[in-house]
């Protein structure tokens, strides 16, 4: 057993962090909560009987937020998962505590981070890396969480007239109006429509199921691996992680990898010289390494029934664990990530419940106050 663990440790490649992902200047801890923990805090905030045991944690979160010691962050996954809360009053309670503690501070979408991590890996194989603009890890609102920036564009018959309108209205008044509009957008998206508004929104093309369908399609893709693993039982008992790593490169990077190679004028054979280098390549990207560990853990179970929720969890953890300081995950994710020692490797406090959070908020040292882990 010790020899196997030592052998595996030698196979773990150093993490390569993206050069152009701009981290927050603040030394406050970035705190990511799984949706079920936000729901628990919401229950505490409204005095629900199920929330009584989280009252102390809620007080600590409020103090850390107001004292500038913690930035509670949202992600695209939160916005999508909120659609699962069907009762408007319950969704409103959760949205209010999210607004209070996060102020709509949002992580950029995972696809953007994956592209930046891929660029960092490929740039090691070229003499002159491509100069790219920096992209903020932390922004504000749903648009940033979807990788669409945080600005607002006004279009007229002749195209973009934003600056013209800004000049006519006056910069201060215009900027204030835009800030208010973005705030109301974020609030409305998070709280969701009322029962009376749903019909009108549907008539205008609102289809929240579209995002869920994408996640369900990806879950189906994972489910299709099950019979192949059932037919080759040695994979579940042996190098399953290698199978998952290879699939991750072929499936998750099938669109962005050819584009990134073409931009640099190189081919994949210039970067990889065999299976071993391929495994190291894909596992050196922090967000992808988290995804690989979760998928590996869950594919060990031949009876695993993949759902859209699993995809949401993978996307959320793949972004939060490498780039946040404190992550309170659900039980399944916590168990898998802790078993893989990713908390230690990425200097992230991986917590299994909210009761642990107050002590961590008081003492955890943000990874941005030290060298990034390898």
Q: Which residues, at least 6 apart from 120, have a Cβ–Cβ distance to it below 8 Å?
A: 16, 17, 18, 19, 285
pLDDT at 189 over 80: yes
- Rounded to 10 degrees, the C-alpha dihedral 167/168/169/170 comes to 40
Q: Which residues, at least 6 apart from 220, have a Cβ–Cβ distance to it below 8 Å?
A: 306
Radius of gyration of the CA atoms of the chain, in A: 22
Dihedrals phi, psi of 29, to nearest 5 degrees: -70, 135
Average pLDDT of the chain, as a whole number = 88
The tokens for 25 are 């200047």
DSSP bridge partners of 159: 156
Give the pLDDT confidence score for residue 157 in this predicted structure: 79
Q: Under a CB-based contact definition with an 8 Å cutoff, are residues 67 and 91 in contact?
A: no
Report residue 1's pLDDT band, with 50, 70 and 90 as the boundaries.
Answer: very low
Give the pLDDT confidence score for residue 216 in this predicted structure: 92
Q: Which residues, at least 6 apart from 216, have a Cβ–Cβ distance to it below 8 Å?
A: 307, 308, 311
Highest mean pLDDT among 32-36, 155-159, 252-256: 32-36
The pLDDT > 70 percentage for the chain reads 92
Residue 19 CA, distance from chain mean position: 18
27-36, 141-150, 214-223: range with lowest mean pLDDT: 141-150
DSSP bridge partners of 135: 21
Give the pLDDT confidence score for residue 329 in this predicted structure: 97
Its sign, for the CA torsion 248, 366, 137, 220, is positive
Q: Under a CB-based contact definition with an 8 Å cutoff, are residues 117 and 286 in contact?
A: yes
Report residue 74's pLDDT band, with 50, 70 and 90 as the boundaries.
Answer: very high
Quick one: average pLDDT of 307-318?
96
Report residue 84's pLDDT band, with 50, 70 and 90 as the boundaries.
Answer: confident
347-357 tens-digit pLDDT: 999 999 999 99
The pLDDT > 90 percentage for the chain reads 62
What is the model's pTM? Answer: 0.90
The tokens for 343 are 């908390």
Rounded CA-CA distance 305/313 in Å is 14
The tokens for 267 are 């081919």
Q: Which residues, at least 6 apart from 328, have a Cβ–Cβ distance to it below 8 Å?
A: 31, 32, 33, 34, 37, 351, 352, 353, 354, 356, 357
Of the candidates 340, 299, 300, the one whose C-alpha atom is nearest the C-alpha of residue 318 is: 340
Report residue 3's pLDDT band, with 50, 70 and 90 as the boundaries.
Answer: very low
Give the pLDDT confidence score for residue 151 in this predicted structure: 66
pLDDT at 9 over 50: no
50-59, 108-117, 139-148, 181-190: range with lowest mean pLDDT: 181-190
Residue where the block lists tokens 């419940």: 353
Q: Which residues, at least 6 apart from 320, have a Cβ–Cβ distance to it below 8 Å?
A: 32, 73, 75, 107, 327
> In Å, what is the CA distance from 277 to each residue of 12, 272, 302?
12, 6, 29
Give the pLDDT confidence score for residue 370 in this predicted structure: 53
pLDDT at 40 over 60: yes
Which letter does DSSP use for residue 30 in this model? E
pLDDT at 5 over 50: no
Quick one: average pLDDT of 216-236?
87
Give the pLDDT confidence score for residue 374 in this predicted structure: 44
Rounded CA-CA distance 171/155 in Å is 17
Its sign, for the CA torsion 274, 280, 281, 282, is positive
pLDDT at 6 over 60: no
Which letter does DSSP use for residue 25 in this model? S
The residue with greater pLDDT, 206 or 240, is 240
Quick one: average pLDDT of 155-172?
76
């Amino acid at each position: 057993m010790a020899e196997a663990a030592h052998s595996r440790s030698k196979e773990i490649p150093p993490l390569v962090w993206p050069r152009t992902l701009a981290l927050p200047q603040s030394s406050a801890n970035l705190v990511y909560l799984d949706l079920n923990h936000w729901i628990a805090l919401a229950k505490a905030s409204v005095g629900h009987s199920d929330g009584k045991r989280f009252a102390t944690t809620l007080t600590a979160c409020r103090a850390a937020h107001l004292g500038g010691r913690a930035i509670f962050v949202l992600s695209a996954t939160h916005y999508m998962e909120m659609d699962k809360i069907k009762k408007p009053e319950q969704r409103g309670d959760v949205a209010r505590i999210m607004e209070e503690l996060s102020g709509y501070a949002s992580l950029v979408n995972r696809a953007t981070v994956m592209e930046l991590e891929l660029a960092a890996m490929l740039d090691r194989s070229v003499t002159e890396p491509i100069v790219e603009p920096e992209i903020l890890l932390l922004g504000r609102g749903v648009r940033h969480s979807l990788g669409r920036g945080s600005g607002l564009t006004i279009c007229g018959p002749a195209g973009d007239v934003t600056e013209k309108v800004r000049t006519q209205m006056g910069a201060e008044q215009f900027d204030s109006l835009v800030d208010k509009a973005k705030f109301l957008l974020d609030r409305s998206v998070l709280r969701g429509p009322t029962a009376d508004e749903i019909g009108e929104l549907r008539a205008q093309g609102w289809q929240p199921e579209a995002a869920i369908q994408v996640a369900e399609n990806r879950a189906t893709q994972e489910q299709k691996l099950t019979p192949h693993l059932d037919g080759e039982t040695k994979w579940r008992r042996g190098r399953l992680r290698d199978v998952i790593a290879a699939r991750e490169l072929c499936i998750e990077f099938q669109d962005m990898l050819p584009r990134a190679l073409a931009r640099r004028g190189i081919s994949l054979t210039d970067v990889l010289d065999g299976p071993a280098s391929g495994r190291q390549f894909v596992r050196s990207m922090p967000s992808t390494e988290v995804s690989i560990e979760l998928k590996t853990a869950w594919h060990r179970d031949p009876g695993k029934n993949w759902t859209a929720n699993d995809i949401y969890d993978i996307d959320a953890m793949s972004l939060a664990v490498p780039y946040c300081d404190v992550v309170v995950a659900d039980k399944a994710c916590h168990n898998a990530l802790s078993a893989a020692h990713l908390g230690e490797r990425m200097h992230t406090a991986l917590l299994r419940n909210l009761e642990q959070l107050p002590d961590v908020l008081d003492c955890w040292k943000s990874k941005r106050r030290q060298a990034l882990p390898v």
